[in-house]
Chain A
């Protein structure tokens, strides 16, 4: 256990923020307040929180269509993430991006791409930039197991490997690419096994155990920061909801869902913190209440914020 007490509580709070945030987004969608579609991160919180707990504010991350959790874990303001999801002027992207395209360059969040797998070369490029600028930053690149079947997975990781770029390739394996089970589209069980082909370490982690994720990411970050190159980290996890808001995920066996819910990351971490006496029941409840208040504030901010003026659609095409 290398995490000090204060940091552990901070990680716990981030996980709770992500969960309550996503629950709120789910409800707001039901009230027709969220345009478009949403892909909820609920269930995978340990991955974003465990990885980002190792990152400095000047380190970078790249994200995906299922990216709210990455933003929050990296330190984005809840209210501006929520405002973007609602298409408001005060959102991180002034309403231009929405749920699938949130970025906050001020904290090194280089943005979410909604093209599966497109973030891997971009993350490698941020890694090359770090190398050429001679800083000791690192990049964490989040993607799903579905993305590992894209050519960009191969091209991006190979380029990062040959140049020993400071990148953590973090595969969040939630078993399903939309409705397609991994076993239908891959002949191997572990995405991390593919690391061998690039001559870099491949690590399989229980992605619902935040301490395990933290530890694996810590090693990968140390390796990256010291110039030894990238790591492919595979976090086995499970999304609680369907692929997007109206997907009831009927393709998932009931027993499988129940089995994964038993390994739910937040309940597990809370029990562990109580058991280690890092937190008392009262302290844990207090954090829970504070998070609920913070989410309510974010929602109020987002709802009260104005929409962008229609003609703002013409801005930001070119600089």
Chain B
């Protein structure tokens, strides 16, 4: 199978959906022909589809999402880009109070087919305003779906599905993933929302991981295998809907779970996953649930400081060894 980068896979999904459906259009800061997207995801699309459908906006996050929402409830399928996930804070009312709630408040009269793309994650030394992982904010808002692809294959397949979905879908990418390569089929395919993927099978412990942490967990699992510990890595791929069954099934098999996420530990995604395990799989557990997440700090700048707060292979291995003996 051909290999392509996560960035190119995202672009191919956007391009194919724009060709397939003329109501799909892109808007965001610097997504157009001049800058081509802060991470170059939209490169070439303005040239192919024109400036009307690949629309540079002012630095107005609230209006980017509000305008996209207004277009979505009147027949369009916008894909809005927020340049850095941290800046979603500027658009929070339009995301959480408007896009997420219009269908419900209006008794199902409308639908909001909207995708909001944004990169999360630390690791490139750009500090507290450009490095956060804020998925837990959105997990707490009914009406939003959440996709978090960890591979080029999932990125393309999930983005195509998200664009075709009639609900607002938060589509979280990771800065360190844009350049990774992986297999992506030439032929048309989609990845459904709400279906987890077991990225590595194992017997002794389940490692639940999202986005870039999937890769660190896979690296940790490889090292553990050399020490005689067989780890299964479960990537939910979407947090809403969440494939609870896949988590329960894996815990049934291994009896142990380590939850690895890049967001802050308190009130984070890992807390929700731990609660799911407690409610639905506690009888299968042979050891306490372990969580590996960011300590509850903003992301610091200086390389040794940043490295200290981001979960890494050693912390994952340490957590596994606490419950697998």
Contact = CB atoms under 8 A, between A and B. Distances in A.
B315 to A, nearest CB: 35
Contact of B67 (A101, A124, A154): A124
B60 A120 contact: no
A121 interface: yes
Interface string B74-90: 11101000000000000
| B interface, size bucket | 35 or more
A97 B105 contact: yes
A129 interface: yes
Contact of B71 (A62, A94, A118, A125): A125
A60 interface: yes
B102 interface: yes
30 contacts: A60-B74, A105-B73, A105-B110, A113-B98, A115-B97, A115-B98, A118-B93, A118-B94, A121-B70, A122-B98, A125-B67, A125-B70, A125-B71, A125-B72, A126-B71, A127-B70, A132-B76, A133-B76, A155-B60, A155-B62, A158-B60, A159-B57, A159-B58, A159-B60, A315-B108, A317-B104, A317-B143, A318-B143, A319-B108, A319-B167
A122 B145 CA distance: 20
Interface string A29-69: 00000000000000000000000000000001010000000
Given A96-B106, A115-B98, A133-B23, 20 more contacts: A93-B105, A96-B105, A97-B106, A105-B73, A111-B105, A113-B98, A120-B66, A121-B63, A122-B69, A122-B70, A124-B67, A125-B72, A131-B52, A132-B53, A132-B76, A152-B93, A154-B60, A155-B58, A155-B60, A319-B103
Interface of B: 23, 25, 52-53, 57-58, 60, 62-63, 65-76, 78, 93-94, 97-98, 102-111, 142-143, 145, 166-167
A132 B71 CA distance: 9
Given A129-B75, A155-B60, A319 B111 contact: yes
A145 B94 CA distance: 20
Nearest to B74: A129
Contacts of A162: 58
Contacts of A94: 107-108
- The interface centre, meaning the residue of B57, B60, B74, B76 with most chain A CB atoms within 10 A of its CB, is B74
B304 to A, nearest CB: 38
Contacts of B69: 121-122, 125
Contacts, number: 149
A95 interface: yes
Given A118-B93, A118-B98, A316 B60 contact: no
A63 to B, nearest CB: 12
Interface string A307-319: 0000000011111
- The interface centre, meaning the residue of A95, A96, A315 with most chain B CB atoms within 10 A of its CB, is A96
A151 interface: yes
Lowest 10 CB-CB distances: which A-B pairs, in order? A125-B70, A121-B66, A155-B63, A93-B107, A94-B107, A125-B67, A155-B60, A122-B70, A316-B108, A129-B74
A266 interface: no
Interface string A129-162: 1111100000000000000000110111011001
A124 B63 contact: yes
A315 B109 CA distance: 12
Interface of A: 60, 62, 91-97, 101, 103-105, 110-111, 113, 115, 118, 120-133, 151-152, 154-156, 158-159, 162, 315-319
A159 to B, nearest CB: 5
Contacts of B103: 316-319
Nearest to B78: A125
B106 A115 contact: no
B105 A110 contact: no
A158 B58 contact: yes
B107 A97 contact: yes
B70 A126 contact: yes
Nearest to A162: B58
A160 to B, nearest CB: 9
Given A125-B72, A319-B111, A152 B66 contact: yes
A48 to B, nearest CB: 19
A91 B70 CA distance: 23
A110 B70 contact: yes
Contacts of B25: 132
Contact of A125 (B68, B93, B106, B107): B68
Given A121-B94, A132-B53, A319 B166 contact: yes
A113 B97 CA distance: 9
A118 B104 contact: no
Contacts of A132: 23, 25, 52-53, 71, 76
Contacts of B71: 125-126, 128-129, 132
B265 to A, nearest CB: 28
Contacts of B166: 319
A151 B89 CA distance: 13
A93 B103 CA distance: 9
Contacts of A118: 66, 93-94, 97-98
Contacts of A151: 62
Nearest to B106: A103
